[in-house]
Chain A
Amino acid sequence: MSATPIQLDAQGRLLHFLTIEGLTHRHLTDILDTAESLRGVAERRVKKLPTLHGKTIVNLFFEASTRTRTTFELAAKRLSADVLNLNIATSSAVKGESLLDTLRNIEAMQCDMFVMRHSQSGAAEFMARHVKPHIAVLNAGDGRHAHPTQAMLDVFTIRRHKPDFPNLRIAIVGDILHSRVARSLIHALSILGAGEIRVIAPRTLLPTRVEDLGVQVFYCLPEGLRDVDVVVMLRLQRERMEGALLPSEQEFFQQYGLTKERLALAKPDAIVMHPGPINRGVEIDSRVADGPHSVILEQVTNGIAVRMAIMSITLGHHAQASGEDA
């Protein structure tokens, strides 16, 4: 499940958005530039564009989400699409068959895009392989694998503050092991040519061979924070943890929590990010989360424009493809 060529057409255009892996610098900058053009829509009287008027987008969430689902919904509505939200609670793992069944039923409602979150890695790609050719699939998080729209909104936020990627030092801190956000972000930063990517975590919360992703590994937070431009804090994902990976949340905060004192080791103009939801006092102190270096709420705002960009780009390519057939 490394590169996913299924998300590109024969000309290399994005048809689905499943993972950052396998995308080019050009793919990413096209999304970022389009998002930049869409950002102003929120400041107008009519916060709406007619671009996807008449399209139907289905948010298919097999895993709980507030921020991601609502920003996807708002993105679709600001592009004038109709949105259907399906929250399908999963007590047990969803089998391939039942997923296909769900898919066929929603397809029968004549929709144009699936936005999907699922606890199984590869679920969005599975969807993309089975949908009718006119439907675009966006991955809103699949297991531990990928969360590519989050990565794009993160690099969009970084670029707005610090556009010079080759000279940036970025630290990703905390539960790397369970984090699809971290994986997608590392790929996006590498493609954009980030100078240095650091991961800072206890050994138990790092995937094996994490160095292969091209990152510097630090086990000590103060050491890893030294002179960084960007600090990305991750949520401690207790719900995904099996066994005793952690002593206690208090102890984790003592060693890996971001406090004002520790942030002072980073560059004076460093920005602090977090994909949310925040565990205050577990991975980040409130004084930092709400402090002057924090761009956490900006990430939420930017998420709407970035998702609008990805929706209009992928659906636009589907339109082009079907137009060529006609």
Chain B
Amino acid sequence: MRDAEFLIEAMTGQLRELLARRGVAEPALVGIHTGGVWVAERLHERLGVAAPLGRLDISFYRDDFSRIGVNPQVRPSELPFDVDGRHLVLIDDVLYTGRTVRAALNELFDYGRPASVLLAALVDRGGRELPIEANVVGAHLTLSSDQHIQLTGPDPLQLIIQTAKP
């Protein structure tokens, strides 16, 4: 079990620097349900972002509907700002295959045409199946496919790594 707060601290510094370098003064943050929203809430507060926090539930955009159906715990997506021309930061807890991010990007573009999208992840565990990389990462971990990593929260935020029993 690992405390996630210090990783978020590291992400805050990286993200602040990256936004400054790109000249983005008023970004909008978008967290992906559920873990990504918890991370996004903390980054939103630490960076003092003016735009209200966006929340995406990508359940209806998943590429495996034909295998798993609708997630009964689906929540509404809320983007309480105009996406057109906005610089967005998409935030998730664990970056793995890249499929969640693919789904989230598709959903974002159904709201409008952002000026740019950055990706921030608390943990990059490798294992990508799509050409997607994060701009900001709290920690890089090398995990095998039978290992499972999960963020629990919202308070405290902790990372739990489990190995599946054969």
Residue A197 lies at the interface, judged by CB distance under 8 Å to chain B = no
Q: A38 touching B60 by the CB < 8 A rule?
A: yes
Residue B162 lies at the interface, judged by CB distance under 8 Å to chain A = no
Most buried by A among B59, B61, B66, B74: B66
Q: B76 touching A40 by the CB < 8 A rule?
A: yes
Residue of A nearest to B78 (CB): A40
The interface bits of chain A over 73-89 (1 if a CB of B lies within 8 angstroms of the residue's CB, else 0) are 00000010000000000
Residue A247 lies at the interface, judged by CB distance under 8 Å to chain B = no
What separation, in Å, do the CA atoms of A132 and B110 have in the docked complex?
A: 35
Residues 267 to 326 of chain A near chain B (Cβ within 8 Å): 312-313, 315-317, 319-320, 323
Chain B interface extent, by class: 20 to 34
Q: How far is the CB of A48 from chain B (nearest CB, A)?
A: 7
What separation, in Å, do the CA atoms of A201 and B78 have in the docked complex?
A: 43
Q: A34 touching B67 by the CB < 8 A rule?
A: no
What separation, in Å, do the CA atoms of A247 and B160 have in the docked complex?
A: 72
Q: B76 touching A49 by the CB < 8 A rule?
A: no
Q: How far is the CB of A318 from chain B (nearest CB, A)?
A: 8
Residue A209 lies at the interface, judged by CB distance under 8 Å to chain B = no
What separation, in Å, do the CA atoms of A60 and B110 have in the docked complex?
A: 31
Residue B106 lies at the interface, judged by CB distance under 8 Å to chain A = yes
Residues of A contacting B70 in the complex (Cβ-Cβ under 8 angstroms): 34, 51, 312-313, 316
Known: A34-B74, A37-B74. A319 touches B60 (CB 8 A): no
Residue B69 lies at the interface, judged by CB distance under 8 Å to chain A = yes
What separation, in Å, do the CA atoms of A320 and B66 have in the docked complex?
A: 7
Q: B67 touching A44 by the CB < 8 A rule?
A: no
Q: B76 touching A39 by the CB < 8 A rule?
A: yes
The interface bits of chain A over 239-254 (1 if a CB of B lies within 8 angstroms of the residue's CB, else 0) are 0000000000000000
Q: How far is the CB of A173 from chain B (nearest CB, A)?
A: 33
Q: A319 touching B59 by the CB < 8 A rule?
A: no
Residue B111 lies at the interface, judged by CB distance under 8 Å to chain A = yes
Residue from the list A37, A44, A313 in contact with B69, Cβ < 8 A: A313
Q: B78 touching A319 by the CB < 8 A rule?
A: no
- Interface residues in chain A, defined as those with a beta carbon under 8 Å from any beta carbon in chain B: 30, 33-34, 36-40, 44-46, 48-52, 79, 312-313, 315-317, 319-320, 323
Extra contacts, 14 of them, besides A40-B76, A44-B110, A45-B110 (Cβ < 8 A), are A33-B74, A37-B60, A37-B75, A37-B76, A40-B78, A49-B110, A50-B61, A51-B60, A51-B70, A312-B65, A313-B70, A316-B65, A316-B69, A319-B68
